[in-house]
Amino acid sequence: MNRPQEFSRYRHDIEVKLRSILDRYRLPLYDMIRYHLGWIDESGVVFSGNPGKMLRPSLCLFACEALCGDCLKALPAGAALELIHNYSLIHDDIQDNDEERRHRPAVWKIWGRAQAINAGTATKAIAGLTINEYKSLGLDPQKILDMHLLLEETVLTLLEGQFLDISFEGRTDISMDEYLSMIQKKTGALIAASLKAGAMAASDRPETWEQFYRLGMTMGAAFQIRDDILGIWGSAEVVGKPTGSDIMKKKKSLPIVHLFLNASAGEREFISGIYDKHELKNPEITAVIGLLEKKGSRRYAENLVRQYSAECLDLILGLPVSDEYKQELAGITNNLSKRMS
Amino acid sequence: MNRPQEFSRYRHDIEVKLRSILDRYRLPLYDMIRYHLGWIDESGVVFSGNPGKMLRPSLCLFACEALCGDCLKALPAGAALELIHNYSLIHDDIQDNDEERRHRPAVWKIWGRAQAINAGTATKAIAGLTINEYKSLGLDPQKILDMHLLLEETVLTLLEGQFLDISFEGRTDISMDEYLSMIQKKTGALIAASLKAGAMAASDRPETWEQFYRLGMTMGAAFQIRDDILGIWGSAEVVGKPTGSDIMKKKKSLPIVHLFLNASAGEREFISGIYDKHELKNPEITAVIGLLEKKGSRRYAENLVRQYSAECLDLILGLPVSDEYKQELAGITNNLSKRMS
């Protein structure tokens, strides 16, 4: 996707920070991380790849700036959260057997699964070490410990979500509650932690931290369901994957969960038959997309996104920040929930 | 192996602590960890399995007791280090394709690789959260942050060692320095961190922490090389794996590294030929063992263990603890470097 316009002012600082963190780690183990981040190619030659959206560190810096006027206080936390996000992507690609990430071979396709597991876990450990930087920045040690706690708890929540997501693969009886709980863990928690960590860097009021956390959870749900919609109906050029790609991968994303819940016995048998196949062909994907439209699964998903976005706006209005920042945050929410890629 | 006699007094406290930590985590994700620790079987039924040596938490509690008389101050750190050790075992089994752990199917053999990756990373995250317990125990926040730093840096060092170990698989030109650096990272660092964390819980003197750290590094080298010897010559009943099992798995352990470095051109070609095969048969294993004996690789490894043990004794003598504890620690070192399993 295009990054929300509002975030472009943080991009440079975040990139410089991430590079300075990784600069301390020169062994070949860490080249896998540099490759994943789009800085080098597989033989170590400097490369200028797509560094990803940087949504999480941008939200972190935004929350901090909105509360205290200085976004840089949130830089170590923001960088740590971006590293957590990237650790999870490196492991996800192994777990989902995804051969490509950001239009390049995934880390495991080049270095093998065993080394890619190391790359992911190392990325997470570096995130933890980055939080420790606050020590030399003079932040209250109690607060740094709270940040460590937030980071580790977020990782556990992410893992619970990933566990659920994988366990959904063999099931056709996933309830909407189960699905929503899964995406809150898998996507919401990290976005919520990003806003909260930014608030922690700026403010000493735990109530404020929690307001930002709740907003992030709701924003995360809207973001993920929009992602689910794009995974089926997104246009290939923009998303970088063919339309219906989530169906091809038999992902149990929200529209599919809705379809299974609302299909007639015959329709359910028909889809189960398709999902039981080893590899899906285009006519089968078209058939599933047709059923999704017929059963209102797309409309249902779009309504949910609208609903979560409206909730976000309510939460934004209650934040202790100036109207200017509220407007910007509303714009970001709008952008995330209507994005085309 | 049998746990050193000296450690039996810590066993109960460590087990109770680990169980109370895991009790907080009830989702199925965490059942994989309980299974790995030998507490339940794969369907969740209570089981009384082999919980492993608990070497690391025992060393942690020992260092603490030796310095301040109260081993319990080190309990959260010791539990965290045991969890780090177990996270690495869960991932190692996936990476090495090892189907068994402690005479039971490895986690990945039951839940699959994708979920086992989650189980390992979750175990590591819980270790980090366990360090945060010191907050409510009133330990100086700065010191808790130092413990977080120690934990994350140890994990990175472990990963660097694991990266090297895996990268050795395809090589026959590993130097002795490379090998020793690998085991210091892969085995030494965690044992060193265990002694250091125990010292941190007991004392405010960083010089003392570092003395224990150095001892742990040296002890770790002796321990790992003894492990390498047992992996080839250990008797099957005691170790639980057939003699020559490391050769069967084509592990580049110390005796093999020595053999490759000291073989004649003809011998090297012969061994390379054997190691190139997909699966090794008994006569081939016997041939490699014969060459190891002929080239003095076993004697070389045994001498190294003796050398590292002697260094340990020197380091023990310099520790600021009573003679009684020095004697006990010397006994532990002796036990670790002469153990039969």
Report the range of poorest mean pLDDT among A64-78, B133-147, B234-248. Answer: B234-248
Model confidence at A252: pLDDT above 60: yes
Quote the ipTM score: 0.95
**Alpha carbon of B331: minimum distance to chain A alpha carbons (Å):** 35
Q: Mutate which of A21, A22, A25, A29 to disrupt the B interface (most B C-beta within 10 Å)?
A: A29
φ and ψ at residue B156, rounded to 5 degrees: -60, -45
Query: How do residues A177-230 score in pLDDT, each as one tens digit?
Result: 999 999 999 999 999 999 999 999 999 999 999 999 999 999 999 999 999 999
Give the number of domains in chain A.
1
Look at residue A115 in the predicted model and tell me its pLDDT.
98
Residue of B nearest to A115 (CA): B163
pLDDT at B83: 98
What pLDDT was estimated at residue A2?
45
Instruction: Flag whether pLDDT at B3 surpasses 90.
Output: no
B9-52 pLDDT per residue, tens:
999 999 999 999 999 999 999 999 999 999 999 999 998 887 77
Long-range contacts of A70-73 (CB under 8 A, 24+ apart): A70/A202, A71/A10, A71/A13, A72/A13, A73/A201, A73/A202
- Nearest CA of chain B to the CA of A205: how many Å? 19
CB contact under 8 A, A29 and B160: yes
Q: Which of B29, B120, B163 sits opposite A115 (nearest CB)?
A: B163
Closest CA of chain B from A139, distance in Å = 11
pLDDT in tens, A280-313: 888 899 999 999 999 999 999 999 999 999 999 9
pLDDT of residue A340: 76
Rounded to the nearest angstrom, the minimum Cα separation between A152 and chain B is 5
Find residue A182's DSSP bridge partners.
none
Contacts of B267 (CB under 8 A, 6+ apart): B291, B295
Could you give the CA distance from residue B157 to residue B164 in angstroms, rounded to a whole number? 11
Fill in the DSSP letter of residue B3: P
**Per-residue pLDDT tens for A72-104?**
999 999 999 999 999 999 999 999 999 999 999
The DSSP code sequence of B260-302 is: HHH--HHHHHHHHHHHHSSS--HHHHHHHHHHHHHTTHHHHHH
Q: What is the pLDDT of residues B213-253, one digit of tens each?
A: 999 999 999 999 999 999 999 876 666 666 788 898 888 99
* Structural element, H or E, at residue A256: helix A254-262
Long-range Cβ contact pairs of A202-208 (< 8 A, separation 24 or more): A202/A63, A202/A64, A202/A65, A202/A66, A202/A67, A202/A68, A202/A70, A202/A73, A202/A74, A203/A67, A203/A68, A204/A143, A208/A67, A208/A319, A208/A320
- In this predicted structure, the answer to whether residue B305 has a pLDDT above a threshold of 90 is yes
Q: At what angle do helices A254-262 and A282-294 cross, to 10 degrees?
A: 70
- Res. A26: pLDDT tops 80: yes
SS3 of residue A135 by DSSP: helix
What is the maximum span of chain A, computed from C-alpha positions, in angstroms?
65
- The pLDDT, as a whole number, for residue A235 is 73
Separation of alpha carbons A296 and A266, rounded Å? 17
Q: Is the pLDDT higher at B151 or at A5? A: B151
CB-CB contact of A220 with A88 (8 Å): no
For the segment A28-43, the average pLDDT, to the nearest whole number, is 97
- From A27, A94, A153, residue closest to B160, measured CB to CB: A27
Q: Which domain holds residue B74?
A: 5-338
B162-198 pLDDT, tens per residue? 999 999 988 989 999 999 999 999 999 999 999 999 9
Predicted confidence (pLDDT) at residue B2 exceeds the cutoff of 60? no
Per-residue confidence at B280, pLDDT binned at 50, 70, 90?
A: confident
- The per-residue pLDDT for range B192-221, each reduced to its tens digit, is 999 999 999 999 999 999 999 999 999 999
Report the DSSP pairing between strands A104-105 and B104-105.
unpaired
Tell me the residues of B at the A interface, defined by beta carbons under 8 Å apart. 25, 27-29, 91, 94-96, 113-115, 117-118, 120-122, 124-126, 128-129, 131-132, 135, 141-142, 144-145, 148-149, 151-153, 155-156, 159-160, 162-163, 166-167
Taking residue B121's Cβ as centre, other Cβ atoms within 10 Å add up to: 25
- For range A22-26, the mean pLDDT: 97
- Give the helix ranges, DSSP H, for chain B: 8-22, 28-36, 55-68, 75-96, 107-111, 113-131, 141-168, 176-183, 189-202, 206-233, 236-239, 245-248, 254-262, 265-276, 282-294, 297-317, 323-338
What's the pLDDT at B74?
98
Res. B341 pLDDT band, cuts 50 70 90: confident
Q: Which of B31, B145, B166 to mutate to test the interface with A (most CBs of A within 10 A)?
A: B145
Cα separation, B78 vs B72, in Å, equals 9
- The neighbouring-strand residues paired with B101 are B104
B114·A166 Cβ contact <8 A: yes
Copy the structure tokens of residue B203: 């004392």
Residue A142: list chain B partners with CB under 8 A. 135, 141
Q: Residue written as tokens 């054997």? A: B274
Look up residue A2 and give its DSSP letter: P
Determine the 3-state secondary structure of A101 from DSSP.
strand
Domain CATH code at residue A330 = 1.10.600.10
> Global pTM?
0.95
The Cα B80–Cα B127 span in angstroms is 4
The kind and range of the H/E element at A132 are: none
- A148 band by pLDDT with thresholds 50, 70 and 90: very high
Q: How far is CA A82 from the centre of its chain?
A: 10
Q: What is chain A's length?
A: 341
Q: Please report which confidence band the pLDDT of residue A1 belongs to, taking 50, 70 and 90 as the band edges.
A: very low
